[in-house]
Structure 1
Amino acid sequence: MANCDNYILQLDSSCIRFEAVSRQNAVFFDESNRQLFVVKNGGLDGVQVKGPDLDAEFTFRLSEKCDIISIKFSPNFATLAIQRSQNVVQFLNFSNGIITSIYSQSSKGKNSKIIGFVWTSNTEIVFICESGIEHFQIIPEKQIVKHLKSFNISVNWFIFQPSSVILLLSTGVIGNVLQGFQFRVSSMYKLSKFEVEWTNKPSPPKLCLFERDVALVNLYGKTYLLVLRHETSKQSKGAQISLYTLVKEGYPHKDHVLELQLTGRFAMNVVDDLIVVHHQTSQTSLLFDIRFSGAKKEGTVLHHSPVVPPYSIKPFKIDDKISCELYSTNWVVFQPNIIIDAKLGFLWLLQLNLLPLCRMMSNDSQLFDFLLLRQNSKPVILNMCRNVIGKKMFDTSSNVLGKIAFLFNKLNAVYRDSLSDLNESKGNCFETGKKTCTVIDQTDMFSSTFSIFEESSIELHDEFIIAVLFEYINSLVSMQIPVQYFIYELLINVLIRSNRFYQLHQFLQYHVFTDSKPLACLLLSLQPKYSHAIQLALDMFKRLSVAQEDIVDIFLSQYEVVRALRYIQRHGNVDNVSARKFLEFAMNSRDNEIFYSVFKFFEERNMRIRGSPNFVPGEHCEVFVKHFENLFGPSNHVNEILLSN
């Protein structure tokens, strides 16, 4: 464990440092905007605003000293809301970092205590009171707070998710009855009230479900409520986390349970759609993936075990000298991946390291499924592909190619979905942005994985390479993904390199390769090594309905000038072609034999058409005549058949 690369989780090295909590400093964190406030001496000595999404620190001063209960900016940073008392929220308008006006709003309910507030948009705010919620519109330019709607309900505590704009209120004596609301422009929508399952209800009843034991998170584009239950059930030997899927219509339903197999104090984060559960007693973290195979189904609920055994976060050193206490009792965790130590003065983002996970998961199929769902996993996946293919090359077990083809199908299924945009909304769930898998396309495979083939030229290896490339092409075709030319080119080059011309002919005959002009041109270039390549290329041009003029130009572009003239002799009228065009390509080929043959061909044509081998002035061939004379001397016309087969 001494090697840092062995740690799955780490605290971001580019952390945010701030003045720690003290008698003079109060620290607040706005989870919605990911902004940390350091209030010095009640604001008289300044308020510092920092955060991972801010380009620079923002500082301002308050005009009067006062205890602050809560402080949050509107999403557009234009209005600051400060709760200084139990029933009043003050608003400060900002312009270019300067406070321009101050106004306030009291709770509408008599003797109603405000337990918190949330911004639902740049100009709308919700007060959460003990007796209900109050929805307001802020009109900064007029310094007006307009009441929109209220809803009366007894509230224990609340949680809010800004991405879905969903507010959940805890109500009831033990706190397990939850009422949800979703907010849109000037509107508040009441969701279905539901009850979190709770066994061993106390007598007399008292509050059992607390805000610290729940989280409202995004997983794979959907909104889930995470509920930590400390009491042990008959089936579980430790605490559990239940996942409720929030829906637009109907009641939220419990779909997943995370088996922690531990007891004690826990905290929850979400990193890259993985649920990270920190356990303070053991100073380890557990990693859960609700998409990971192997979950046990009980009725309609999937029970999950950790993806890998519990692991500690990588040690963090302050200024590369002093080790920071991990899993400290001073840690406060916010969603999705924020950890704050207010007494130490650090804010970290929790990060995931994929490489150790690859070494800890022995099942290639599960590993690829897992990696495809992670962000920034492309280099890791490509390296895994490279390693798997390299390892299988020397594997003597059965069905080696079948295993590789299976992995290709996994990669290409995601590739296909990305091309056809199959990841559409499912309708009833609260979508918080589409979860896109990591896509490994043909360019990625060619440049990063198949490059391993250039490192071996042994006959046995070529057989394996051909088989692997064939499986990859077959996988693409089965997924109805057009195969890129460079994949075909790689396979053809390996076939030619190993003199497998018969196999190449078979692949072309049975249409393993999709016809294309670049592929036909590649076949033309193979003629010196494979005499049948010319006819195979011409047949492909014909199937593609390529015009004769284009075929001639393709020959010329490869300086196959003699072959171009032969093609015209068979399929066109050589009397009408431009002598200058062909002589220019022949001269540029820097092959004197080709230039000689082409020059003599057109002398023969001139003789047949005009009775003289000379070029007429209108053909502008003087430079070629001079070039011929420099190479071979004055031309003496001889009736030669220069372009015969």
Structure 2
Amino acid sequence: MELISPVAFEPVGSVTNVFFDDKNQQVFSVRSGGATGIIVRGFSDEFISTFLSSQDLGPIFTIKLSPNQKVLAVQRAKNQVEFFKVLRTGLTGSIDEVHKFIQVSKGKSSTILGFFWTKDNEILFISESGLEVHFISNLDRGVIKNLRNQTFTMNWFVYSPSSSFLLCSSSSSTSSLQPFIIRNSHIVKVSKIDINQKEVLVKEKDVIIIEAFHKIFVGIFIHTPNNSSSLHLYSLSSKDTLNKSHILRLGRPGPFSTNVVDNVLVIHHQPTGTSLLFDPSMPGESDGTLIHMDPITNTPVCIKSGDNCDMDGQYPLQWAAFQPDLIVDGKEGKFWRLKLRIKPFIIDNIPDLRKKIEFLLRREGSKRTLLDILFEKCTEVPLDLTNIGHAFDLINLEYVRHLSYKNQTSTSGSSSYGGKSLMPSSTLGNCVKVIIDQSDLFTNVFSLLVGDETDSSVDMTLKQKSFVLMEYFRSLKEHEIPVQYFLDELLINLMVQMGSWFQLHQCLQYQIFTDSKPLSCLLLSLESVYPPAGQLALDMLNRLGTANPEIVEILLSKNIVLSALKFAETDGGNIQPRRFLESAMSSKHNSLFYSTYKYFERRNLLLRGSKQFASSDNCDKYVRRFAELYPQDCD
């Protein structure tokens, strides 16, 4: 993993305190209680420099800007929050102290433990006596209204600004937690979490709230006497209930901190300077109720800061992790985003191909890496067709689910594709970020695999290459995905190179290839080297049911005139006698010419009441030839 997008700020010092607002992802460097300046830095290029007061009015407990950056909220006293209108001028600003106003906690002697902006003009107070939602109705006049209250004896809490999800505890160590959601200015009470671990009490540092694949999880670190910890995940359902779903095996004692990067849960272990990676959407070991998971990689990963990975075996103690992907170092005066470096370390440390494919399918921008891995696996000697087949099955299953997910209606819990009922790949819904289709594999894997025989990087026999392609065809058929023509052509040409006519015949008879007009034309071109290919092409065109004109042309080119006439009649189109008579005459079989000529005489009699050909038929040549051969039959 790597720290990217560094932002520098004035670090903690003798006169400087540092605060981090994870809602707006901003760092506040506050000098002398704001009297000598406040610098606000974020990931955007701009920064805000402002002054809170002309004098130091005491220590600041918390400071936050509203999401629209127009109101500054500051807590100096235990039971109240001050609000200031921010007057911006370019990159600097000042505080409108004239319009300053104060909101006191509803329980006037109750300490405000924290506050959070939920909207541009709405703020949540979390106090010792419960929750309060306040609304600033008029900023210039300092009018603030109390919207909602929820009584709760609060000892500590954990809050997620991105989801407005809150966990509350009434004691310093507890076996139960009360969740709330702030939704549409309401306080929604969620079912309580009861930790059913014997003699285990959790503290604030043991609880996290994360989001992955648009789903909220509550995580609780459980520490056992044998110095082996685990993370228990509770997922929030659409019905606002929390259900225990996963147990992540950490295999080491704490302390831990967490981030979520590209829907991967990253658990940092400060004492060893390593991080463990988990993806709750991937398969694990199920006991029928819970999914037990080990880390994705077989060895822990470390965070690199630029080109330097030397951290003396530990992560700096002053590092603080904030959701989803932020690392703040108040002592050094920097904060960063955390990025997954999929290649080479993470991928190289996932030995199982199936697990590797599942991981990459769920990562943004990993298509190129996934295709490279597939090409590498498909060109390995000896071939591991079992694992290659599993990889193809995973890709095709997610491709079908992707199509199904796109087409499902708002009222159905599942949908179908190709007659199959399909459910999402996990309880988290559609987690796949990369879709691999036939054209992707053709361009980046199969055409390179089959292509240049002189390419020394592909040390495979033609038979081995055909095995790989046949395995992909098998997977497509099992998932009821029609095979595209360019893949049919690739495999047929490979079989022709090998001289595998029997296998080709079988594939055509059992319809391994998808019937199409281009494919029938390809088969016709092979008739000179494999005569049965012509009949196989005709059978294919006949199955299509829409290719009678093409069948007629093929039969006429072979002088099979009477069969051509049958197909022409079935098609119901305008039959031109000259084409059929010419084919019959060129066959040098007088009996065939006779039968064809008599057929058109009967047809002319039926259509026009006369055996004679119309002048527009241009059949004088054939009339004369018939008279020469059969003068006794001429009227």
Q: Same fold (TM over 0.5)?
A: yes
Q: Distance in 2 between matches of 1:401 and 1:264?
A: 42
Match of 1:394 among 359, 368, 382: 382
Report the equivalent of 1:637.
none
Report the equivalent of 2:443.
447
Cα distance, 1:71–1:250 mapped onto 2, change above 3 Å: closer
Cα distance, 1:164–1:314 mapped onto 2, change above 3 Å: closer
Give the conservation status (yes or no) of the 8 Å contact 1:215–1:335: no
Q: Distance in 1 between matches of 2:215 and 2:73?
A: 30
1:160 Cα deviation from its structure 2 partner: 1.9
Report the equivalent of 1:283.
273
Give the conservation status (yes or no) of the 8 Å contact 1:415–1:440: yes
Instruction: Provide, for residues 377-408 of structure 1, a one-character-per-residue CA deviation record: whole Å limited to 9, x for no partner.
Output: 323322222222212x434xxxx534432332
Report the equivalent of 1:581.
none
2:14 pairs with 1:23: yes
Report the equivalent of 2:133.
135
Coordinate RMSD, CA, aligned: 4.2
Letter in 2 for 1:328: P
Cα distance, 1:421–1:433 mapped onto 2, change above 3 Å: closer
Cα distance, 1:507–1:112 mapped onto 2, change above 3 Å: same
Letter in 1 for 2:451: E
Cα distance, 1:460–1:140 mapped onto 2, change above 3 Å: same
Taking structure 1 as the reference length, what is the TM-score of the superposition? 0.73
Give the conservation status (yes or no) of the 8 Å contact 2:131–2:151: yes
Match of 1:107 among 84, 105, 114: 105
Report the equivalent of 2:25.
34
Q: Distance in 1 between matches of 2:517 and 2:12?
A: 70
Report the equivalent of 2:41.
50
Correspondence list, 1:292-441, <5 A? 295=285, 297=287, 300-311=289-300, 313-317=302-306, 327-354=315-342, 355-391=344-380, 393-395=381-383, 400-421=384-405, 434-441=430-437
Instruction: Provide, for residues 182-220 of structure 1, a one-character-per-residue CA deviation record: whole Å limited to 9, x for no partner.
Output: 12223221112333356557xxxxxx7443322101244
1:344 Cα deviation from its structure 2 partner: 0.7
Q: Distance in 2 between matches of 1:425 and 1:16?
A: 45
Report the equivalent of 2:188.
189
Q: Secondary structure at the match of 1:146?
A: strand
Structure 1 stretch 519-528 or stretch 210-219: which is displaced more? 519-528
Match of 1:118 among 105, 116, 126: 116
Report the equivalent of 1:475.
475
Q: Secondary structure at the match of 2:360?
A: helix
Q: Secondary structure at the match of 1:88?
A: strand
Q: Distance in 2 between matches of 1:357 and 1:47?
A: 41
Letter in 2 for 1:272: D
Report the equivalent of 1:81.
73
Q: Secondary structure at the match of 1:438?
A: coil
Give the conservation status (yes or no) of the 8 Å contact 2:85–2:139: no
Correspondence list, 1:596-611, <5 A? 609=618
Give the conservation status (yes or no) of the 8 Å contact 1:91–1:104: no
Q: Distance in 2 between matches of 1:567 and 1:462?
A: 42
Letter in 2 for 1:168: L
1:63 Cα deviation from its structure 2 partner: 4.8
Give the conservation status (yes or no) of the 8 Å contact 1:39–1:46: yes
Q: Distance in 1 between matches of 2:538 and 2:139?
A: 75
1:126 Cα deviation from its structure 2 partner: 0.8
Q: Distance in 1 between matches of 2:428 and 2:468?
A: 39
1:310 Cα deviation from its structure 2 partner: 4.9
Report the equivalent of 1:215.
208
Listed as ranges, the gaps of 5+ residues in structure 1 are: 1-8, 202-207, 556-560, 578-604, 613-645
1:541 Cα deviation from its structure 2 partner: 3.7
Letter in 2 for 1:377: S
1:275 Cα deviation from its structure 2 partner: 3.1
Give the conservation status (yes or no) of the 8 Å contact 1:131–1:154: yes
Cα distance, 1:159–1:521 mapped onto 2, change above 3 Å: farther
Cα distance, 1:542–1:112 mapped onto 2, change above 3 Å: same
Letter in 1 for 2:177: L
Give the conservation status (yes or no) of the 8 Å contact 2:484–2:514: no
1:607 Cα deviation from its structure 2 partner: 11
Report the equivalent of 1:10.
2
Letter in 1 for 2:11: A
Give the conservation status (yes or no) of the 8 Å contact 1:117–1:126: yes
Q: Distance in 1 between matches of 2:321 and 2:218?
A: 16
1:130 Cα deviation from its structure 2 partner: 1.4
Letter in 1 for 2:148: K
Cα distance, 1:528–1:274 mapped onto 2, change above 3 Å: same
Listed as ranges, the gaps of 5+ residues in structure 2 are: 415-422, 569-573, 580-613, 622-635
Instruction: Provide, for residues 77-117 of structure 1, a one-character-per-residue CA deviation record: whole Å limited to 9, x for no partner.
Output: 45443334321241435678667865443322212221111
Q: Secondary structure at the match of 1:111?
A: coil
Q: Distance in 1 between matches of 2:309 and 2:470?
A: 55
2:256 pairs with 1:266: yes
Q: Distance in 2 between matches of 1:547 and 1:421?
A: 35
Identify which of structures 1 and 2 has the higher relative contact order when contacts are C-alpha pairs closer than 8 Å and 6+ apart: 1
Report the equivalent of 2:513.
513
Instruction: Provide, for residues 318-372 of structure 1, a one-character-per-residue CA deviation record: whole Å limited to 9, x for no partner.
Output: xx68966751111111122221111112212222233323333333333333433
Give the conservation status (yes or no) of the 8 Å contact 2:361–2:432: no
Structure 1 stretch 487-496 or stretch 36-45: which is displaced more? 36-45
2:52 pairs with 1:68: no
Report the equivalent of 2:48.
59
Q: Distance in 2 between matches of 1:301 and 1:505?
A: 50
Cα distance, 1:518–1:130 mapped onto 2, change above 3 Å: farther
1:148 Cα deviation from its structure 2 partner: 0.8
Give the conservation status (yes or no) of the 8 Å contact 2:12–2:333: yes
Q: Secondary structure at the match of 1:421?
A: helix
Cα distance, 1:536–1:151 mapped onto 2, change above 3 Å: same
Letter in 2 for 1:149: R
Structure 1 stretch 307-316 or stretch 164-173: which is displaced more? 307-316
Give the conservation status (yes or no) of the 8 Å contact 2:354–2:387: no
Q: Secondary structure at the match of 2:475?
A: helix
Report the equivalent of 1:254.
244
1:128 Cα deviation from its structure 2 partner: 0.6
Give the conservation status (yes or no) of the 8 Å contact 1:21–1:343: yes
Report the equivalent of 1:466.
466
Report the equivalent of 2:586.
none
Letter in 1 for 2:618: I
Q: Distance in 2 between matches of 1:459 and 1:215?
A: 51
